[in-house]
Amino acid sequence: MKYDFSFIVPVYNAEKYLRRTVKSILDQDYDTNKIEIILINDGSTDNSLKICNSFKRDNIVVLDQKNGGVSNARNNGLKHARGKIITFLDSDDFISNNLCKEVYKMFHENDIDVVTYPLVNYNRYKTKMHFRYASLYEDKDKVYDINKYPEIIQTTINISFINRFNENELFNEKIIRGEDEDYATRCIMHKRKIGYLPDVKYYYRKNNNSSATKTYKVTEKEFNTYTNYYLDLLKKYKNVLYIKNMFLNTLRWRIDENKLVPSNDKKYFIKLEKLLSYINIEDILSLSFLSISLRLAVLELKKVKYTILYEDKIYIKIANKKYDINKEVEYTIRNVKKKPKGYLITGLTDLPIDCSKIKYKDNKKYDYFDTPIYNFSYESKNNVFDITDIKYKIKIVQRIRVKELFYEINIDNKKAKINRKGILFTSKKAFKILIRK
């Protein structure tokens, strides 16, 4: 086989970034004669095709096609790939120069089909690693069996995999959003293992004109596509927790981005409830990458009745069973005002919220965001809360400056202290607290 690697790069109106993308492949700490680059111009209307042709040589192939979408372009590239290992790279992204060397070594030493590496959001001023790689993976080269590590879900296309040529999986061109997740899942399910290389980096740019991660409104067609897709998967892999977690992750980002349903029509929520019938309550409440409020939102979609208990920890009670949600309580302090009896602090919290108002309305529409503000365990007549009554662990996330003074709120079981240091900072639901002198 002539090439060790085939890089498949779909190109659409990417003249601003394309040169850096290709250069990151040519700058690999690897013999570039063993690297094939396939540039698929997907009907670009800018100078992308001209730039592609400027790179054209024996091991850099340029395919020019009418606009058919990213999945169609990748499938075209797959049909021409001649390397042992295939790697996808979008035309506005770039990679670290050790990818080929480390990926080849990982495949050589392990019986796996798929390797991934950290996905890092890049702009001119800073980089930020995707939460999956920052919190779920260990910081070392490792092969993960998805049956043992079901939270290690691969939803993006920062992967390399063994070229099966005529037996390669192809992208489903009918999927409107989520084609990367679908493709990666089908590759992984062959051996149900995935290699991870923490020192290799895939840098992506978020929210630029050529990126596929544009803002959009969910349509009925897309809703039916993604729900039917997961319904088929959940039926096929009834006992595979990895697949269930994939669906829960989709609910996570769709709720966060308000992309869950086309409208509040009851029929959409009935279908989501059907999908959630394949997922156990324990699987929902134990999933670490779901925030407290999102776990409760999923329970609401599943039509599960629960009670929040405030004891030594915060528990969710369903029927006669208590579940430890195992989460630190997080607050954002937005404002601090001096009051006669102390300081009035306002901000946000990720404490469990009372979702009892989430229900079908008279107009038969369902508003899953119609939730009240959560007011911790103590409420005075003026709707201001005494933080000395709060007894749950607080996570300090970030400091903010308030009138040239710094304060730090430390919760130790039952009591709070104020020091001239910092203030905890995060986000979710609104609250007010009065800190007494």
Partners of 324 in the β-ladder: 315
pLDDT of residue 369: 33
Summarize the confidence of residues 67-78 as an average pLDDT.
95
Q: Which of 239, 282, 276, 235 is nearest to 255 (CA)?
A: 276
Summarize the confidence of residues 184-198 as an average pLDDT.
94
Q: What is the pLDDT of residues 80-90, one digit of tens each?
A: 999 999 999 99
At 136, the pLDDT band (50, 70, 90 cuts) reads low
pLDDT of residue 211: 40
**Selected residue with higher pLDDT from 194 and 389:** 194
State the greatest distance between any 2 C-alpha atoms of the chain, in Å, as a whole number.
Answer: 79
Q: Are 233 and 226 in contact (CB under 8 A)?
A: no
To the nearest 10 degrees (0 to 180), the angle between helices 48-55 and 18-26 is 20
Question: Is 181 buried (19+), middle (13-18) or exposed (0-12) by CB count in 10 A?
Answer: buried
Q: What is the pLDDT of residues 16-60, one digit of tens each?
A: 999 999 999 999 999 999 999 999 999 999 999 999 999 999 999
Q: What is the pLDDT of residues 311-352, one digit of tens each?
A: 666 678 999 899 887 555 555 445 555 556 555 555 455 554
C-alpha 348/C-alpha 432 separation (Å) is: 8
Quickly count: other Cβ atoms within 10 Å of residue 73's Cβ: 27
Q: What is the pLDDT of residues 226-250, one digit of tens each?
A: 999 999 999 999 999 999 999 999 9
pLDDT of residue 178: 86
Q: Which of 318, 419, 418, 431 is nearest to 378 (CA)?
A: 431
C-alpha 312/C-alpha 105 separation (Å) is: 49
What domains can be seen in the chain, in order of their start residue? 3-204 (3.90.550.10), 220-324 (no CATH), 329-436 (no CATH)
Give every CB contact of residue 299 below 8 A, 6+ residues apart in sequence. 281, 284, 285, 306, 316, 318, 355
Tell me the whole-structure pTM to 2 decimals. Answer: 0.74
